[in-house]
Structure 1
């Protein structure tokens, strides 16, 4: 369940057109899922009514003026259960490891969220599925050797051989039982045994160490045979003539920085290719980011929504993002529903060597051991220059 896993919100990002706003203005942190309400807060505990069971170790939180106040539930005690509006409700007394002071300011029936479901996390730690391959054993007995064949459920067969004179076991029943038991023990391999078939008039005596070695060799041979039989896809042949790229001109937004990238696009018909932004050729104001997230939509100023509404301007004017001394212009392309953040490369970035160049690689600072020792007040004893 992705809603129970840490994330900072989610969106289908216009896969099925615009559904809801994709911004998360309440809090940038993960608050989890709503589970109920806080009824009251005491000195060390709080009482909450929930619509889902809680457990010791759950991570709970409340949102107070866009600030998430979280705590770990050390002890969760069920006080009673009842129905409200036809829905089951649970009342808990919750004792956190440490009760945050901000909880004392909560009003009754404040929403309560859970961003760590302890029981769900524990369930994830347990193995949920295991892929294993069934095999069938067949032991062929000849006068001068033993051949152990193993066949997988896909129909792939491999074998291993043990040379030497074959001796009949004194206790045939016990030897057969030991044979089946040893071959069925496949340990940490991905196989499990479905049965053992002995094709012989006698049950041979095989020392345990030799039988285990024979089993290992047969499994190793089966691994190699399955890998060899695994279907491998072939590379699609190059189209002749090559396809033509839909645009003959690429701006810096195509991020073409090196010669190989430029040759790739030229091979498919692109005639004019601007250098990537990292090439420092765009010194003026350009779109440094293009997003589907639109502040006009978030502020209910989208002209598509306001069309025909009296008193709402549908003419789109630029906005500004201001953070300290940084000012970015926002321009809106409403036809494809895009917001363009317009910015200018800073002077100290323009003066730096191009990324990937020899001069850029020399920008990494280095210092010799002698110069490093000069920065130490008390020089280590025994050091001589």
Structure 2
């Protein structure tokens, strides 16, 4: 069996670096045009180059999203941008539109093109249509069962790679092709500007009673009839591997770097543990417990094991569950003094219990006994965003290790 690629989202340079440090084999990101995530910071051309160089130094890959459904004006500058990406050494671009595919293919034919989930590929005949045009990786529609995916892979050419989403927010519309946002607030989801109306609270109105709203009550706060649970397939790594999926994709370019590190770390440990000894593999519940220490909604397996039911929706709230704060990022560590240099991300106090974790290893817990500011003054609290402090650590830590704190008391 071939170990699948673990593909992580990168909303900015820090998230890119965090994803790779914490175990991603590749990242996907958007530039300032042609991508579907205006809400993320996205990358300037200089940042793309820096990200590609960082990834390639560690033998990892970078894919660029160019998966909008374009209007005429959206095609302006496409050839020039494609050439720049190729010259930067990106490992592939992700497209959904045949026009964008055609322009890139004739402009830089050596640049690998992946077909986005936005193309809604749900059967092997469509797979072969794109394969015959030169596509060698397809991100399947999210609305497929594992059995359907396995059948597609068996019938597809051996040099075609299949990528599927394994974790993250689910879209209520077919493979993300949503018109609600554009209709309701004039923000076109298919051009990267989704307002997420599927997460809003709705009421019922009868046609002949305009303005008279009937509540759809699931609880005291009403109901959220389009609000899906988040996809989580970490418990089913063996099934995904055996089906022949080549790339496991995590959603979340607008999520925090803490979220990216936490989720990638758990999937990395699960995949690696499975490949150590597939016949005697046992799922470790701590992996999903760790994921739940980042913000999350309740989890679902989406369409993998059958069509979703009412059990796969969250009717009471569209909010995330958040039990921990990301409070610090380790910048340096002195083994002689056991002092860590830390960049503060949320307030922490002397006396707080914190958890410290890094790539591929268990976390440890300690009490903050003393902290010092950059001038060496002892402090009781680190209140300032990105304040640089020093803290004594009970165990050795490394650059990029993360410090978190429970917010549940």
TM class by smaller structure:
under 0.3
The TM-score with structure 1 as length reference comes to 0.20
State the structure with more CA Rg: 1
The TM-score with structure 2 as length reference comes to 0.19
**Relative to total residues, which structure has the larger strand share, 1 or 2?**
1
Larger RCO (CA within 8 A; separation ≥ 6): 2
**Relative to total residues, which structure has the larger helix share, 1 or 2?**
2
